[in-house]
Each structure stands twice: as structure tokens, then as C-alpha cells.
């Protein structure tokens, strides 16, 4: 082989191997779970990966070589995506923001970042990363912070209110013989009873908001639910609603703090009764409870046909002190959330305004008896 032939063969081999590496990297970029789009210095699209094309809802082949204006006029581009693109364009190009966040149709959160300048040879690289999981962690941390704060506030409320109450109680007792002399012992009795009631309310509030580790016992889900339903039946009857407990499988056991879990179920049933009262059903209000086994957990469903919730209520439901009721405390669900979390479980909700609400409590189960 001549020297020239050898050189030619060598450069061909070099070219092939560079091409192979290039193909490999392109393939990786194309199938990355983040979306990537590259514009050259003339504003022409030179590369787009599968994920980004999916986000735009346009086929990749019809996008290569398009300018940003052509993309905005693209026949396959849906109206909501067009609006989204225009907003991103405005923020990143005109306001020179390096980041933009948006939510797609499936409710996933994306973080968009744009890179350009010297290191990009005049190209503009836009990448979109799915940050839904980080968002969820962030929200949970925020929720936990709020709950921790609630615990602190309650402790200081206890100090601030209980002490003066104790003093008042003492003095009333001292005055009691004098009141008796003037025939007003009844006043003393009422004042003492009311102070005791105020103390009880504070204790209940503190008990429910103080974070405490669950005292677990192994219990049959079926009897736990039956006992809890029994506690609410008379109130339900008075409010004209029916509670239906679909006979659960007797063999499902969970290891929980019975008092706490009962409190959670009671909170949810009471809210359901309030929601039914709100809608004013003529005795057609119904609360259905059933359980289901999911993987290694038990899921308790509590569904009502009450007034349901709008999105604002849904998003703030578990916030301490959030209530839409005149005499509500807004503590029931925030406490329930914490109790279920302490048990290693999850509480979730689905609701439709005017139709009803379903709460789902998922708890890890202990064992099945056959
Ligand atoms: N089943 C339900 N149907 C409709 N709204 C509900 C339901 N459960 C809870 N909510 C809403 O969530 C809010 C917070 O509930 P909760 O924490 O128990 O506090 P409270 O019952 O004192 O208002 C309620 O005020 C209500 O707006
Ligand atoms: Mg409540």
C-alpha cells in the first residue's frame, strides 16, 4: 500500500471513530430525561432532543432549521404551549433571566435554564429539567417547619394563658364565702366551671399539637374502624347523614397508636359531616368507609358527598389554623397529617366542588392472619 493510501485509510478510520463517538453522545443527548434545545447565533434551531419536542408537542424533524418566530407560528404548536413559549422568550431574552419555572399539562414542574455567551460560541442552549420531586421535598419541609412552629406557639400559649387562669381560679375560691353570704354563690360556681372549661380546651389543644411519638399496639383495622364509627353515629343521625362501613377484611392488622389514629378518623368523619351539612342534603348525606390493601400497606378511604373543595382550600387544607368554618379551629387536619406522618404513613385527598371529597390514609400493615 502506498503511503498516500495508508494516510487516507487512517484518516477514514479516524473519521469513523469520531463519528461513532459523536453518534453516541448525540444519542445520549437525544434520550436524556431533561429537555434540550440549541439555537445558533442566527436564532436557528440546530438541535432538539426527544424530551423537549415532547414538551412542545411538535415532531422533531419539523423543527430543525426553524427560527424562534417560525416555531411560534408552527401549525403543531398548541395554544397553551405558544403562550408558555412567549412568556419564556420574554423572560429569558428581554429580561435576561437565566431561569424560568413552569408546570406542564400533567402537573409536572420544570426548571428551564438558558446558557449563552463566550463558552457557547454564540449558540443558545436551553435546557428543561423535571424538578417535581425537589418541589415535593421542598413543600414537605415547609409543611414540617410550620408544624414545628405550631408546637412552639402552643407551648407559649399554655404558659401565657394557664398561669393567669390559675390565679383567677384561686382568687374566686377565696371570694367564694363572701359571695355565698350575699347569696351569689351561683356566680362563683359558673366562673369556676368556665375556667375549668377554658383549661380543658387549652389542654386538648396542646395535646393535639404537641408532637408525640406514637405508642403503638397491634390492632385489627376492622375493629378500629368499627369502634370509631360507633363514636360518631349519634352525631351523624342528628345531622341526617348515614355512615356506611364496608365490612373490612378481619385479617388485616396494623401497628399504630390507637388513640391517635382514632382521632384522625374522627377528624375526617367530622369534617365530612360538616361538609354534608353545608350542602343541605335532605337526609341523603352519606359517608362511606372502606379499606383496601396496597402493596405492604392498608389504605382507608373515607368518602363523603358533601360540598367538596375548591383548589385554594385543597392547597391549604393541611395548614395549621386554616379553616373555612366560622367556628373552626383549622387544626384537625394539620394534626392528622402529623400523626399519619409519625406512623410512616401518607394522607391524601381528592375532591370535587359540589360533589364530595375522599380522604385516603395509607398505613404500613403489620401482618395478615390467615
Ligand atoms: N370532607 C371535606 N369536605 C369539604 N371541605 C373539607 C373537608 N374536610 C376538610 N375540609 C376543609 O378543610 C378545612 C380544614 O379542616 P380542619 O383542619 O379539620 O379544620 P376545621 O374543621 O376546624 O375547619 C375546613 O375548614 C374545610 O374547609
Ligand atoms: Mg375539622
- CA dist., res. 193 & res. 6, Å (int): 106
Instruction: Report pLDDT for 177.
Output: 93
Report the pLDDT value the prediction gives residue 213, as an integer from 0 to 100: 67
Separation of CA 87 and ligand 2 centre (Å): 41
Q: With beta carbons less than 8 A apart as the criterion, state whether 269 and 228 touch.
A: yes
CB hemisphere CA count around 137 (13 angstroms):
4
Q: How many CA atoms lie within 13 A of 106 on its CB side?
A: 7
- Which of ligand 1's atoms lies nearest the C-alpha of 271? 8
The ligand minimizing its distance to the Cα of 269 is 1
Q: Using DSSP, state whether 293 is helix, strand or coil.
A: strand
The candidate with the shortest Cα–Cα distance to 222, out of 254, 244, 248, is 248
Atom of ligand 1 at shortest range from CA of 318: 17
What are all long-range contacts of 144-148, with beta carbons under 8 Å and residues at least 24 apart? Answer: 146/319, 146/320, 146/334, 147/211, 147/320, 147/334, 147/337, 147/338, 148/211
Note down pLDDT in tens along the chain; length 370 residues: 678 888 888 888 887 777 777 788 888 888 888 889 888 888 888 889 988 888 888 888 888 888 888 888 888 888 888 888 887 777 777 777 778 888 877 788 888 888 887 777 888 888 888 898 888 888 888 877 877 787 777 777 777 888 899 999 999 999 999 999 999 999 999 999 888 878 876 776 666 655 566 788 898 898 899 989 988 888 888 888 899 999 767 778 899 988 889 889 999 999 999 999 988 867 789 999 999 988 889 999 999 999 999 999 999 999 887 889 887 778 889 889 988 988 999 999 999 999 999 999 999 987 554 4
Question: What is the predicted pLDDT for the residue at 346?
Answer: 95
pLDDT of residue 215: 80
CB of residue 256 inside a 6 A radius of ligand 1: no
Ligand that lies nearest to the alpha carbon of residue 321, given by its number in the listed order:
1
Q: Residue 201 Cα, ligand 1 centroid: separation in angstroms?
A: 20
- Is 275 exposed, middle or buried (CB count within 10 Å of its CB: 0-12, 13-18, 19+)? buried
Q: Which ligand is nearest the CA of 322, by number? A: 1
Give the strand pairing for 241-245 and 285-294.
parallel
Q: Is the CB of 358 under 6 A from ligand 1?
A: no
Amino acid at each position: 500500500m502506498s503511503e498516500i493510501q495508508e494516510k487516507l485509510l487512517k484518516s477514514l478510520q479516524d473519521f469513523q471513530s469520531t463519528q461513532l463517538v459523536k453518534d453516541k453522545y448525540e444519542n445520549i443527548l437525544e434520550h436524556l430525561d431533561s429537555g434540550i434545545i440549541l439555537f445558533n447565533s442566527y436564532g436557528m434551531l440546530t438541535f432538539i432532543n426527544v424530551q423537549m419536542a415532547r414538551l412542545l408537542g411538535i415532531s422533531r424533524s419539523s423543527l430543525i432549521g426553524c427560527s424562534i418566530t417560525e416555531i411560534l407560528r408552527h401549525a403543531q404548536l398548541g395554544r397553551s404551549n405558544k403562550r408558555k413559549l412567549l412568556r419564556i422568550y420574554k423572560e429569558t431574552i428581554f429580561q435576561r433571566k437565566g431561569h424560568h419555572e413552569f408546570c406542564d399539562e400533567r402537573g409536572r414542574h420544570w426548571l428551564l435554564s438558558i446558557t449563552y455567551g463566550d463558552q457557547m460560541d454564540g449558540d443558545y442552549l436551553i435546557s428543561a429539567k423535571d424538578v417535581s420531586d425537589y418541589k415535593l421535598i421542598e413543600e414537605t419541609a415547609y409543611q414540617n417547619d410550620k408544624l414545628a412552629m405550631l408546637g412552639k406557639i402552643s407551648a407559649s400559649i399554655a404558659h401565657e394563658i394557664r398561669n393567669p387562669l390559675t390565679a383567677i381560679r384561686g382568687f374566686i375560691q377565696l371570694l367564694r364565702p363572701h359571695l355565698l353570704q350575699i347569696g351569689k354563690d351561683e356566680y362563683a360556681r359558673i366562673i369556676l366551671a368556665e375556667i375549668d372549661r377554658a383549661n380543658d380546651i387549652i389542654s386538648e389543644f396542646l395535646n393535639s399539637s404537641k408532637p408525640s411519638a406514637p405508642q403503638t399496639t397491634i390492632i385489627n383495622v376492622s375493629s378500629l374502624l368499627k369502634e370509631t364509627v360507633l363514636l360518631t353515629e349519634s352525631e351523624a343521625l342528628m345531622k341526617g347523614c348515614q355512615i356506611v362501613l364496608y365490612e373490612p377484611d378481619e385479617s388485616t392488622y396494623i401497628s399504630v397508636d390507637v388513640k391517635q389514629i382514632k382521632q384522625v378518623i374522627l377528624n375526617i368523619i367530622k369534617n365530612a359531616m360538616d361538609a354534608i351539612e353545608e350542602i343541605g342534603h335532605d337526609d341523603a348525606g352519606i359517608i362511606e368507609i372502606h379499606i383496601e390493601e396496597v402493596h405492604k400497606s392498608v389504605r382507608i378511604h373515607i368518602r363523603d358527598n358533601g360540598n367538596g373543595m375548591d383548589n385554594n382550600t385543597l392547597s391549604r387544607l393541611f395548614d395549621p389554623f386554616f379553616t373555612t368554618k366560622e367556628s373552626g379551629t383549622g387544626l384537625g387536619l394539620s394534626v392528622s397529617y402529623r400523626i399519619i406522618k409519625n406512623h410512616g404513613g401518607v394522607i391524601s385527598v381528592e375532591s370535587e366542588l359540589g360533589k364530595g371529597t375522599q380522604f385516603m390514609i395509607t398505613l404500613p400493615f403489620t401482618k395478615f392472619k390467615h
